[in-house]
Chains A and B, each alone.
Chain A
Amino acid sequence: MNRTSMNRRMFLRGAGGALLAIPLLPSLLPREAQAQAAAIPKRYVAIWSNYDYGHSRHWYPQGGLPLTLNPAGEAAVKYQALRALIGSNPALSRVLGAGLTPHLGSLNLFRGLDFPDWFGHGFAHALGNLSSSQSNDEINKLPMVSTLDQVLGRNARINPHATEPFVLGNQTSMSYGPDASGKVSRKSPMATTAQGIYSTLFRGGQVPESGQMASVHPRRDVLSRVLDDYKRVRSGAQISSSDKVVLDNALDKLSEVQRNLAAQTTVANGCSYKGISTAYTRWSYDQPQALKNMADLLVAAMMCDVNRVFHFTGIIDDDYYNKSSGNFHDGHSHSPRTVIGGKLNHEYMADIQGQLVSNFIVPLLNGMAAATDAVNGKSMLYNSLVHFAIESGTAHSFSDSPTLLAGNAGGALTSGHLIDYTNPALDDGTFNLPAEAWEADPQSPNFVGYGHGVQLQRIFVNVLQAMGLARAEYERADLNTYYRGRSDSSLGAQNNGITDVGGYGHIGVANPIQQSQWMMYGHHRMKDYNYNFFKTPLLMPPTSAA
């Protein structure tokens, strides 16, 4: 077996990313290198989909993982180049399909990322806000934190031409960010269709294409007076406090429109979007053209540089699929061994998820790979990160949530691998929480998941650092105390000091009698597991695969 040992430099390169053998944790960068890194326009696209009735196995290519990383104080990490794994197979896996094969060298597929706690349905936790997961009362009381797209999209250095990320979703969004008062809540999609993208992101065609002259919108000044009208009505004596909430929100949203009417002064080469179809007023995963239109518009938005951070939430439109009953969720997630059209339930779900990949993610990556950033002559895909995360890896399970990262963040991340963080040695077989009844593998009735992996949240550190954020820009230490230095935790010695190293294993019970304790301490743990309490990124292979 070819084992690769780690020294400090390699560790840093794997963790924060490296370019030309320079450790790229921003805080360690020389001033010049930081300036150079900042000059590369990095885009971030967060993609989320529901998948609670699927099975994580359908994400991964088959084959052994002969390479290992051996970080000090942590279990070995196995990995292999995706090209070696795929061999002569046309498709990477059932979900990821054949469309991504041209981009294998740009991908990282992560296996063995666990959520820290049980919940029935994960929401925005896969993108950084674990507090949003659907679980018990304690967890629901937790304060929300922003998802990665909102953290990045509101950072003026990362996203200089917009004040927030562009949020797209067919029904809702899993993007959480602050409102004007700083309160974090779920963001409504700014657009639900290609036409919505055109209307909102391109301001109904007002964004100049290449070669066009930018100009101030003729409604800019009168819209200022509209805003004054809102303020005046709001201050009326008969306006109730609840009226004011409504008006404040409208004022906030219309102010965004007004800000966007300012003249755009720079237009990137290749900015062209008016020829992209905006047909389809409704779409589902199985509508290739509708999804491609949206992917093309997002690529065009990158080329026009109207925004650099994007969020896409896809909800499987159950009207278009076999429900197996009157309720899509119950018909599938609660009955994983149902056979639909000759496919096991989880296979059927994998194929639906595969439609999102082939119909949206593939054209998105194709477009980004074909676009070049003049600043370094690299593709937009190379300079960016596309982050595909899902509700949960397997029906109602918090184990092994597959995650795909595409792109290199301008060289800050290596790529081209399947990386497996599972650590079977820590699977003590005692974890038997209520979710287990739903996560049984149809072919193995006693199956309870892939065993212990690392905490999913560590990947958020990789993403944020690779995009160029300093720790001070996202970490919060004020609440980060509950487990620090504890050595007497009944929740498992491996969890002590989790805020510093990330920790291994499902958090919590060493035996079933502590289930009540698990509930009791759940909220403490969840506080610690939002991304901004994790300091250590995932260990990654030191060089990109060929």
Chain B
Amino acid sequence: MRATVWVLCAATFGCEGMIGTNPLHPGDDPSGTGGRGSGVATGGGGEPGPGTGGGVTGTGGGTAQPNPDVPPFACTQDAPGSDTAHRLSRRQLQRTLQAFVDRLVPAAQATPLLQAAWSAAAVPAEAERYKRWGNDFSSQHAQSLFTVADALATALSSGTTYAAAANAALKLSPGTCATLNTASPSVDCQKQLIRNLGRRLLRRPLVETATLDEVELYRQEYASATGATAFSAVVFRLLLAPESLFRIEAHEVAVPGRLDVLALSSAAIANRLSYTYWNSAPDETLLGMAASTDLSTEPAFSAALDYVLAQAPLADSTDEFMGDWLSLDKVPHFQSSNPAAFAAYAGAVKYDDALRDQMIAEVRELGAWVTRSGGTFADLFTTDVSFARSPELMKLYRVTAAAPAAITSANAVRLPAGRHQGVLTRAALLVTAAGNKNPVLRGAHIRRDILCLSTPPPPADLPAGSFDPPPYDASKTVRERYTEKTSVQPCFSCHVTLNTAGNALSNYNGLGQYEDTEPAFKADGTPNGLRLPVDAVVDFSKVFGGNVTTRDSRELTDLVASRPETQKCFTQDLSAFLLGRAVSPVADGCRMNHVYAQLRAGKPLREAMRTLATEPDFRLKKL
């Protein structure tokens, strides 16, 4: 019931609804007759042609090859679009609440306090590939968020925690109340508490004008209660407030002569920056910047942006991005209908959910490391730094030293030369869990998710057995068996390009472990004890045009990292993730061209991320 890559035999027909347009890549052509959209058709030779301008439509088996130096997206000033109220994702909410609690109670108490409140509820998991995209708000959201708010407000106002939390809240921003009578706060102290709590949870100063006085509205909670009870009610109400659960820009500045946009206030800009790059609310420094400077002006904004990108919470965004970009939640759990074959592949490595988790964590950390260390987009595909710390993962990679807790260029453990580099050759992206390496799946993943090239769905009327793995044959490698099976029509026309990248990964077994030879299997699927030499040499001319051949996985990853298709695809993925919504080749074309240029020029990945925020419309609310 879910869309994913298809396997083994594909042609040009539709399978009803199982495979459709990738919402991340709106230019994709699910018909299978064209290339990816929004490209600029220039040059000749190669893959199904990119479309023209903002459209899409290659002609199938086309001849155009992208010119890497031409910006791939349409750049239209004043492009349409609107900025809609957006629910904090589950992860953003949890991190926001953690930051809030951290401000009010000692660190040792804060985490268990939040965990207790969080575990009392069942906040729904996000269903979108990019978890930030989810903007549904179901009954379960409402009930679970009520439960969290209730539990958290209760905990913060219970026993001795109340006095500590209330005094900490009072001191977040000094005011006229210097000493808090916790049992019966004065009016000044009530107001100061409300202002300080509101500024952290609504992430803006409360409005106190003649026509709207939000402080007085929240002081209603002191009308029939006082002390801890009223404090609890204020916290509860703020936790569930619309601007707490949602990112809503509602107190912005009119732009003379423009009815379609508003200029964001400093507080709103700080909010955008922090949720874009930290997955959390502004910290005290960023709040201070928003309060003391006008972040809509270039120098102040630039300083705030630099600050955000230099802080540790950036790692949370890169961690989440890696998981979403590479669909790491889809890394398969162990399953095998042929345990003997699996054992022959896996050898001494035990694949279970623990190792699966370690594989995923490794790739996430790789992204954070590249970003933190000033690495480039290409480094994502080429770094040989090991992040393996568990014995099983170290065994898989054949390294003897565990990665240090805090990795630097100087202390990093390196993976064996030429064996594993970058994300494409890490176990999480190679493991099949069923024992057998599968060049079609691997190739399709790279083609569709890394290169953003078309992967048409399989025909509707395939003959029986089309999806079965090719039969075992003791004289043939996996690559040879799959090639043989897909060399007939209607399979061949697509598999001639679909299998290519997968074949280049032939040196990795079903667990992702490097091998120069692979076990041979008798016709009944049992290993015969012999091994066959692996051939990973691949001709990419049918994919990219020209005369492009790779001899091993290192050359494959170098090639993939250098291709404009990869850079364009990654640009869209990174933009969609950071912006928290589907990107438009038109409305987001300008900023995506700038990101692409950064990647293309080999600038640090962090700079490419920074570029997304430097477009002027980052500081505008489109109505």
Residue B143 interfacial (CB < 8 Å): yes
Asked if A200 and B444 sit within 8 Å, CB to CB, the answer is: no
Query: Of A63-71, A149-157, A240-248, A450-458, which binds chain B?
Result: A240-248
Asked if B243 and A233 sit within 8 Å, CB to CB, the answer is: yes
Asked if B138 and A188 sit within 8 Å, CB to CB, the answer is: yes
Of the candidates A200, A236, A322, A442, which one forms a contact with B139 in the assembled complex, judged by CB atoms under 8 Å apart?
A200
Query: Of A265-273, A289-297, A337-345, which binds chain B?
Result: A337-345
B residues in contact with A257, CB < 8 Å: 142-143, 146
With CB as the reference atom, state the residue of chain A lying closest to B252.
Answer: A238
Residue A318 interfacial (CB < 8 Å): yes
Residue B150 interfacial (CB < 8 Å): yes
- Residue-by-residue, is A307-348 near B (CB-CB < 8 Å gives 1, otherwise 0)? 000000001101111111111111100111111110000000
With CB as the reference atom, state the residue of chain A lying closest to B127.
Answer: A171
B residues in contact with A249, CB < 8 Å: 137
Asked if B8 and A325 sit within 8 Å, CB to CB, the answer is: yes
Of the candidates B83, B127, B236, B246, which one forms a contact with A250 in the assembled complex, judged by CB atoms under 8 Å apart?
B246
Determine which residue in B124, B245, B458, B467 has the highest number of CB atoms from chain A within 10 A of its CB, and name it.
B467
Taken together as a complex, chains A and B put the C-alpha atoms of A256 and B250 apart, in Å, by 25
B residues in contact with A323, CB < 8 Å: 434
A residues in contact with B85, CB < 8 Å: 239, 242-243, 246-247
Query: Of A218-226, A411-419, A474-482, A498-506, which binds chain B?
Result: A218-226
A residues in contact with B138, CB < 8 Å: 188-190, 253
- If over half of B's interface residues share one DSSP class (helix, strand or loop), that class is named, otherwise mixed; here it is loop
Asked if A337 and B441 sit within 8 Å, CB to CB, the answer is: no
Query: Of B331-339, B479-487, B488-496, B567-575, which binds chain A?
Result: B331-339
Of the candidates A226, A253, A337, which one forms a contact with B465 in the assembled complex, judged by CB atoms under 8 Å apart?
A337
Taken together as a complex, chains A and B put the C-alpha atoms of A190 and B142 apart, in Å, by 9
- Residue-by-residue, is B324-359 near A (CB-CB < 8 Å gives 1, otherwise 0)? 000000101101010000000000000000000000
Taken together as a complex, chains A and B put the C-alpha atoms of A442 and B463 apart, in Å, by 12
> Which residues 11-42 of A have a CB within 8 angstroms of B?
none
Asked if B143 and A190 sit within 8 Å, CB to CB, the answer is: yes
B residues in contact with A320, CB < 8 Å: 333, 335
A residues in contact with B15, CB < 8 Å: 120, 329-330, 334
Residue B172 interfacial (CB < 8 Å): no
A320-B333, A434-B460 known; A120+B220 contact, CB < 8 A? no
Taken together as a complex, chains A and B put the C-alpha atoms of A324 and B6 apart, in Å, by 11
Asked if B464 and A335 sit within 8 Å, CB to CB, the answer is: yes
Interface size class of A (residues with CB under 8 A): 35 or more
A253-B141, A322-B434 known; A340+B337 contact, CB < 8 A? yes
Residue A50 interfacial (CB < 8 Å): yes
Asked if B337 and A192 sit within 8 Å, CB to CB, the answer is: no
B residues in contact with A442, CB < 8 Å: 464
Taken together as a complex, chains A and B put the C-alpha atoms of A256 and B221 apart, in Å, by 22
- Residue-by-residue, is B446-464 near A (CB-CB < 8 Å gives 1, otherwise 0)? 0000000000001011101
B1 to chain A, nearest CB (A): 5
Asked if B250 and A254 sit within 8 Å, CB to CB, the answer is: no
B429 to chain A, nearest CB (A): 13
Taken together as a complex, chains A and B put the C-alpha atoms of A234 and B243 apart, in Å, by 11
B residues in contact with A56, CB < 8 Å: none
Of the candidates A119, A171, A339, which one forms a contact with B1 in the assembled complex, judged by CB atoms under 8 Å apart?
A171
Taken together as a complex, chains A and B put the C-alpha atoms of A246 and B249 apart, in Å, by 13
A351 to chain B, nearest CB (A): 13
Asked if B458 and A330 sit within 8 Å, CB to CB, the answer is: yes
Asked if B17 and A324 sit within 8 Å, CB to CB, the answer is: no
A123 to chain B, nearest CB (A): 10
Residue B400 interfacial (CB < 8 Å): no
Taken together as a complex, chains A and B put the C-alpha atoms of A171 and B124 apart, in Å, by 10
With CB as the reference atom, state the residue of chain B lying closest to A324.
Answer: B467
A287 to chain B, nearest CB (A): 13
Taken together as a complex, chains A and B put the C-alpha atoms of A339 and B6 apart, in Å, by 19
Of the candidates A121, A232, A236, A330, which one forms a contact with B7 in the assembled complex, judged by CB atoms under 8 Å apart?
A330
A239-B250, A257-B142, A335-B467 known; A193+B240 contact, CB < 8 A? no
Taken together as a complex, chains A and B put the C-alpha atoms of A138 and B87 apart, in Å, by 34
Taken together as a complex, chains A and B put the C-alpha atoms of A119 and B17 apart, in Å, by 11
Asked if B144 and A334 sit within 8 Å, CB to CB, the answer is: no
Of the candidates B18, B120, B337, B468, which one forms a contact with A335 in the assembled complex, judged by CB atoms under 8 Å apart?
B468
Asked if B140 and A236 sit within 8 Å, CB to CB, the answer is: no
Asked if B17 and A121 sit within 8 Å, CB to CB, the answer is: yes
With CB as the reference atom, state the residue of chain B lying closest to A234.
Answer: B242
A322-B337, A438-B460 known; A242+B84 contact, CB < 8 A? yes
Of the candidates B82, B458, B468, which one forms a contact with A242 in the assembled complex, judged by CB atoms under 8 Å apart?
B82
With CB as the reference atom, state the residue of chain B lying closest to A197.
Answer: B122
Interface size class of B (residues with CB under 8 A): 35 or more
Taken together as a complex, chains A and B put the C-alpha atoms of A396 and B371 apart, in Å, by 47
Taken together as a complex, chains A and B put the C-alpha atoms of A257 and B87 apart, in Å, by 18
B residues in contact with A319, CB < 8 Å: 330, 332-333
B residues in contact with A195, CB < 8 Å: 122
With CB as the reference atom, state the residue of chain B lying closest to A251.
Answer: B242
Asked if B1 and A190 sit within 8 Å, CB to CB, the answer is: no
Asked if B140 and A190 sit within 8 Å, CB to CB, the answer is: yes
A residues in contact with B466, CB < 8 Å: 334-335
Residue B523 interfacial (CB < 8 Å): no
A121-B16, A250-B245 known; A330+B237 contact, CB < 8 A? no
Asked if A196 and B122 sit within 8 Å, CB to CB, the answer is: yes
> Which residues 203-252 of B have a CB within 8 angstroms of A?
217, 220-221, 233, 236-237, 240-243, 245-246, 248-252
Taken together as a complex, chains A and B put the C-alpha atoms of A24 and B370 apart, in Å, by 72
A residues in contact with B242, CB < 8 Å: 229-230, 233-234, 247, 250
Taken together as a complex, chains A and B put the C-alpha atoms of A172 and B124 apart, in Å, by 12
With CB as the reference atom, state the residue of chain A lying closest to B16.
Answer: A120
A residues in contact with B8, CB < 8 Å: 325
A330 to chain B, nearest CB (A): 5
Asked if B460 and A437 sit within 8 Å, CB to CB, the answer is: yes
- Residue-by-residue, is B249-260 near A (CB-CB < 8 Å gives 1, otherwise 0)? 111100000000
- Residue-by-residue, is B535-574 near A (CB-CB < 8 Å gives 1, otherwise 0)? 0000000000000000000000000000000000000000
Residue A486 interfacial (CB < 8 Å): no
Asked if A253 and B142 sit within 8 Å, CB to CB, the answer is: yes
Residue B262 interfacial (CB < 8 Å): yes
Taken together as a complex, chains A and B put the C-alpha atoms of A337 and B463 apart, in Å, by 10
A residues in contact with B240, CB < 8 Å: 223, 226, 254
Asked if B335 and A338 sit within 8 Å, CB to CB, the answer is: no
B444 to chain A, nearest CB (A): 7
Of the candidates B86, B140, B333, which one forms a contact with A192 in the assembled complex, judged by CB atoms under 8 Å apart?
B140
Taken together as a complex, chains A and B put the C-alpha atoms of A334 and B444 apart, in Å, by 19
Taken together as a complex, chains A and B put the C-alpha atoms of A229 and B236 apart, in Å, by 13
Taken together as a complex, chains A and B put the C-alpha atoms of A325 and B468 apart, in Å, by 7
A residues in contact with B16, CB < 8 Å: 119-121, 134, 396
> Which residues 261-289 of A have a CB within 8 angstroms of B?
none
A12 to chain B, nearest CB (A): 39
Asked if B241 and A315 sit within 8 Å, CB to CB, the answer is: no
B residues in contact with A247, CB < 8 Å: 85, 242, 246, 248
B residues in contact with A326, CB < 8 Å: 4-7, 438, 440-441, 444
Asked if A337 and B6 sit within 8 Å, CB to CB, the answer is: no
With CB as the reference atom, state the residue of chain B lying closest to A340.
Answer: B337
Of the candidates A193, A329, A341, A437, which one forms a contact with B337 in the assembled complex, judged by CB atoms under 8 Å apart?
A341
- Residue-by-residue, is B410-424 near A (CB-CB < 8 Å gives 1, otherwise 0)? 000000000000000
Q: List 10 A-B contacts (CB under 8 A).
A: A120-B17, A189-B140, A190-B140, A204-B120, A219-B150, A222-B236, A238-B250, A239-B248, A246-B246, A315-B1
**Additional pairs, 9, CB under 8 Å, beyond known A240-B83, A326-B4:** A172-B127, A196-B122, A219-B236, A326-B441, A329-B1, A334-B458, A334-B460, A337-B464, A338-B467
Q: Which 6 A-B pairs have the closest CB atoms?
A: A120-B16, A188-B138, A253-B142, A325-B7, A196-B122, A242-B84
Report B's interface with A, CB cutoff 8 A: 1-2, 4-8, 15-19, 82-87, 120-122, 124-125, 127, 135-144, 146-147, 150, 217, 220-221, 233, 236-237, 240-243, 245-246, 248-252, 262, 330, 332-333, 335, 337, 434, 438, 440-441, 444, 458, 460-462, 464-468, 621, 623
